[in-house]
């Protein structure tokens, strides 16, 4: 019953500081990126008959940030005669071996679902037979950094006791679809056209008697995190107006209207000397880009908006929460179920409710339906008895019938990334309570009106061909492109029409589709631009420079970005000073 008492008492100061810097403290970094385990199958072994058994030992396998929960041994090549006593044990005996070369693969999986593999080679000699199998040696693992995109494969370290190797064969067994082995049957050959990611290449050597053995080599292709060499594009920053109240609002756009709703307001101390302030705002400012005019409206509840979704000529502002601080150091956090719907064409507002109060909701629209999935919420009767929790509720609004329905996600979570690709919505990752949900994907199929559950790695791997990325934390959809994001600020962009993938380092996850280009921008003075038509990257330079802290809310309409509110002066003596300035950014 006391899930969060200790959580709030330790984290409250941090949350307050984040709230001053970023508003509704997005928790994108609350869950550290899970690192995959490291498989170790042990050294290669050689035995001579009549000895016909060996010990497979994977106990040296490890996980850098968790524990290994699954071991699995399988034979991947060699004679058909063998017996693995316990394939699911970290250590196990293999017996009934006969003359030849065996390869056994160890797969380990950690407690968060990531896996790794390693192989061991076992040579079984028969003294009664004159020919002996060769020993393949694919060379040492290699690491390169783009734009270098080729490695040399060298099998010259392979040996044969009888000196009768007759054939060498190289093939790729894992990694991106992008590669070219120049001469797969040479002792030494080059592999070029590599993408970012991890490749494994297998060498098979065969002797004159038909005996063979295999070995693998790994090639790691990194990308340089240096975008200073990108050519520049000049951007223009123009002030277009002022919000009626200084704050860091939520924002949405439809038709010819930009709407800045609710958000953080007032001057707040980050040291709990705040007085009793209600920090959520009820003000809504609407800007008509054609007329250049402003309107002001009051939303149904003063709050930080939980999710903003544009669907046709309507903008939905759903859920949210607000804080009240007390001089004693306590706080009261209240979650809301309010939904304000703005009809841009009619210039009217309608208020309705979610089935459950919450914020940090994943919002998306497909067909005639608008989805509000998961979220976090606060319950209890005030500090210190307040409880923070996560929801699995999905509220669905049908614009055709103006009716609501509800269902549930496979697991409760907030901060969900909602991605629309084709006729499906992918509700990806987020933060759970006490469990890691960063890899979970709930999929809604609009064509069949059905739900399914998958995992991020599975969804990404199902793309044909799969992207040339390593670890992928999240993905987004922008126009005809899917954007893959890693925790190391690496991004891969897959064009669904061509199948091409570009990989680079960017500073921010948010992405917009403007003038047929993909733009990464979060309200700071850094703009990064990708042109899918040419595959080129650019950096945007704003003139005049974008003021620090301005543009907490960024919204796209037509071929421009609109920046509203934010911190006008950063932190001044531990006090947050909000802005009411609105800018238009073009290039």
* Domain count along the chain: 2
Q: What angle do CA 273, 359, 285 make, to 5 degrees?
A: 80
CB 483 within 8 A of CB 511: yes
**Residue 398's pLDDT is what?**
96
The pLDDT of residue 547 is above 80 = no
Boundary (domain end) residue, out of 201, 222, 243: 222
Is residue 387 within 8 Å of residue 378, measured between CB atoms?
yes
Distances (CA, A) of 330 to 9, 266, 270, 304, 526: 9, 18, 13, 19, 37
pLDDT over threshold 60, residue 5: no
Tens-place pLDDT, residues 370-386: 999 999 998 766 556 67
pTM over 0.75: no
577 band by pLDDT with thresholds 50, 70 and 90:
confident
Same structural domain, 192 and 239: no
Q: Determine, yes or no, domain membership for 314.
A: yes
Q: Strand, coil or helix: what is 252? A: strand
Q: How far apart are the C-alpha atoms of 549 and 579, rounded to whole Å?
A: 9
pLDDT on residue 64:
86
Tell me, yes or no, whether 234 and 210 share the same domain: no
Task: Name the most confidently modeled range: 135-149, 177-191, 490-504, 550-564.
Answer: 177-191
What is the pLDDT, as a whole number, of residue 323? 75
The answer to whether residues 445 and 571 belong to one domain is yes
In a domain, 520, yes or no: yes
282 and 418, same structural domain?
A: yes
| Rounded Cα–Cα distance for residues 101 and 124 (Å) | 6
Confidence band, pLDDT 50/70/90 cuts, at residue 487:
low
User: What is the model's pLDDT at position 272?
Assistant: 41
Arithmetic mean of pLDDT over the chain: 83
Domain membership of residue 42 (yes or no) is: no
Structural domain contains residue 169: yes
Dihedral sign (CA 291, 294, 297, 302): positive
Last residue within a domain, chosen from 191, 222, 253: 222
C-alpha 318/C-alpha 358 separation (Å) is: 9
Strands ordered across the beta sheet of 440-445: 417-421, 424-428, 440-445, 450-455
Q: What's the rounded mean pLDDT across residues 81-97?
A: 95
Distances (CA, A) of 106 to 41, 42, 171, 205, 217: 6, 10, 20, 22, 16
Name every residue whose Cβ is closer than 8 Å to that of residue 29 and which is 6 or more positions away in sequence. none
Asked if residue 416 and residue 330 are part of one domain, the reply reads yes
- Asked if residue 471 and residue 357 are part of one domain, the reply reads yes
Cα(561)–Cα(33) distance, integer angstroms: 30
Looking at the fold, whether 217 and 157 belong to one and the same domain comes out as yes
pLDDT at 325: 60
Query: What is the predicted pLDDT for the residue at 380?
Result: 66
Element (H, E) at 5: helix 5-22
More confident residue, 8 or 480: 480
Distance CA 487, CA 449 (A): 33
147 membership: H or E segment, kind and range? none
Specify the CATH number for the domain of residue 154.
2.60.40.10
C-alpha radius of gyration, the chain, whole number: 29
Residues 121 and 187 in one domain: yes
Same domain, 328 and 462: yes
Concatenated DSSP letters of 279-336: -BEEEEEEEETTTTEEEEEEEEEEEEEEEEEEETTEEEEEEEEEEEE-TTS-EEEEE-
Say how far apart CA 353 and CA 481 lie, in whole Å. 34
Find the CATH number of the domain harbouring 380: 2.120.10.80
Q: Is residue 18 part of a domain?
A: no
Which neighbouring-strand residues pair with 301? none
Percent of the chain with pLDDT over 70: 83
In DSSP terms, 198 is beta-bridged to 220
Residue 454 lies in a domain: yes
* DSSP summary character for residue 22: H
In this structure, what are the phi and psi dihedrals at residue 12, rounded to the nearest 5 degrees? -60, -45
Q: What is the pLDDT of residue 526?
A: 74
Query: Residues with Cβ < 8 Å from 375, sequence gap 6 or more?
Result: 306, 307, 319, 358, 359, 360, 361, 362, 390, 391, 393, 414, 416
Question: Bridge-partner residues for 305, per DSSP?
Answer: 320
Q: Both 357 and 276 in a single domain?
A: yes
Secondary structure of residue 6 in the 3-state scheme: helix
The answer to whether the peptide bond before residue 303 is cis (omega within 30 degrees of 0) is no
What is the mean pLDDT of the segment spanning 317-337? 76
Q: Is the pLDDT of residue 426 over 90?
A: yes
- Residue pLDDT, tens place only, 499-546: 777 777 777 777 888 888 888 887 666 788 888 887 788 888 888 888
Burial class (CB in 10 A: 0-12, 13-18, 19+), 399: middle
From first CA to last CA, the distance across the chain in angstroms is 53
Contacts of 56 (CB under 8 A, 6+ apart): 41, 42, 73, 84, 91, 92, 93, 94, 104, 106, 120
Task: Give the rounded distance of the alpha carbon of 180 from its chain centre.
Answer: 29
Lowest mean pLDDT among 24-38, 341-355, 401-415, 493-507: 24-38
439 and 539: one domain? Answer: yes
Please give the average per-residue pLDDT across 160-172, as a whole number. 90
The pLDDT of residue 208: 80
**pLDDT confidence bin for 112, thresholds 50/70/90:** confident
* β 232-242/536-543 pair status: parallel
Chain-centre distance for alpha carbon 574: 33
Asked if residue 218 and residue 233 are part of one domain, the reply reads no
Out of 175, 191, 222, a domain closes at 222
Per-residue pLDDT of 261-304, as tens digits, reads: 998 876 454 444 444 455 788 999 999 999 999 999 999 999 98
Asked if residue 579 belongs to a domain, the reply is: yes
Mean pLDDT, range 18-33, rounded to an integer: 38
Quote the CA–CA distance of 561 and 465 in Å, as a whole number: 33
pLDDT above 90 covers a percentage of the chain that reads 44
DSSP 434: S
Angle ∠(538,543,547) on CA atoms, nearest 5: 100
Q: What angle do CA 146, 475, 368 make, to 5 degrees?
A: 145
Residue 3 lies in a domain: no
pLDDT at 327 over 50: yes
Residue range(s) defining the domain that contains residue 120: 48-222
Q: Which pLDDT value is given to residue 530?
A: 86
């Amino acid at each position: 019953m006391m899930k969060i008492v200790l959580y709030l008492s330790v984290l409250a100061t941090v949350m307050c500081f984040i709230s001053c810097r970023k508003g509704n403290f997005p928790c994108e970094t609350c869950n550290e990126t899970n690192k995959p385990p490291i498989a170790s199958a042990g050294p290669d072994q050689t035995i001579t008959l009549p000895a016909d058994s060996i010990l497979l030992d994977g106990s040296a396998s490890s996980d850098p940030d968790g524990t290994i929960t699954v071991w699995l041994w399988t034979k991947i090549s060699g004679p058909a005669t063998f017996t693995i006593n316990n394939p699911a044990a970290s250590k196990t005996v293999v017996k009934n071996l006969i003359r030849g070369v065996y390869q056994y693969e160890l797969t380990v999986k950690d407690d968060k679902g990531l896996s790794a593999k390693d192989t061991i080679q076992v040579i079984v000699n028969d003294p009664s037979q004159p020919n002996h199998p060769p020993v393949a040696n694919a060379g040492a693992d290699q690491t390169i950094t783009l734009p270098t995109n080729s490695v040399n494969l060298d099998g010259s370290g392979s040996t044969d006791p009888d000196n009768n190797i007759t054939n060498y064969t190289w093939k790729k067994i894992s990694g991106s679809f992008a590669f070219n082995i120049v001469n797969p049957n040479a002792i030494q050959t080059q592999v070029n056209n590599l993408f970012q990611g991890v490749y494994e290449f297998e060498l098979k050597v065969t002797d004159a008697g038909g005996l063979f053995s295999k070995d693998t080599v790994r090639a790691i292709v990194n990308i340089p995190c240096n975008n200073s060499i990108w050519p520049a594009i000049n951007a223009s920053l123009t002030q277009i107006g002022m919000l009626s109240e200084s704050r860091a609002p939520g924002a949405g756009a439809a038709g010819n209207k930009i709407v800045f709703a609710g958000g953080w307001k007032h001057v707040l101390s980050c040291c709990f000397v705040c007085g009793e302030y209600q920090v959520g705002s009820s003000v809504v400012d609407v800007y008509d880009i054609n007329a250049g005019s402003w309107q002001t409206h009051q939303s149904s509840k003063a709050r930080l908006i939980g999710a903003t979704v544009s669907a046709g000529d309507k903008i939905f502002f759903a859920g949210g929460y607000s804080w009240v601080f007390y001089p004693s150091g306590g706080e009261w956090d209240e979650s809301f179920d309010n939904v304000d719907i703005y009809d841009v064409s009619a210039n009217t507002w309608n208020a309705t409710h979610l089935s459950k109060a919450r914020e940090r909701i994943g919002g998306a629209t497909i067909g005639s339906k608008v989805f509000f999935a998961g979220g976090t919420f606060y319950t209890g009767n005030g500090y210190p008895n307040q409880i923070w929790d996560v929801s699995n509720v999905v509220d669905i609004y049908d614009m055709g019938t103006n009716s609501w329905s509800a269902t549930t996600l496979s697991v409760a979570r907030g901060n969900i990334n909602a991605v629309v690709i084709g006729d499906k919505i992918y509700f990806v990752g987020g933060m759970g309570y006490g469990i890691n949900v960063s890899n979970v994907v709930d999929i809604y199929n609009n064509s069949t009106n059905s739900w399914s559950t998958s995992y991020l790695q599975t969804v990404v791997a199902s793309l044909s061909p799969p992207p040339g990325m390593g670890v992928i934390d999240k993905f987004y959809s922008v126009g005809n492109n899917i954007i893959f994001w890693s925790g190391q600020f690496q991004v891969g962009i897959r064009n669904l029409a061509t199948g091409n993938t570009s990989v680079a380092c960017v500073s921010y996850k948010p992405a917009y589709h403007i003038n047929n280009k993909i733009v990464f921008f979060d309200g700071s003075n850094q703009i990064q631009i990708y042109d899918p038509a040419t595959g080129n990257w650019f950096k945007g330079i704003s003139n005049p420079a974008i003021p620090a802290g301005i543009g907490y809310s960024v919204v796209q309409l037509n071929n421009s970005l609109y920046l509203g509110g934010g911190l006008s002066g950063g932190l001044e003596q531990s006090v947050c000073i909000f802005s009411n300035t609105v800018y238009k950014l073009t290039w």
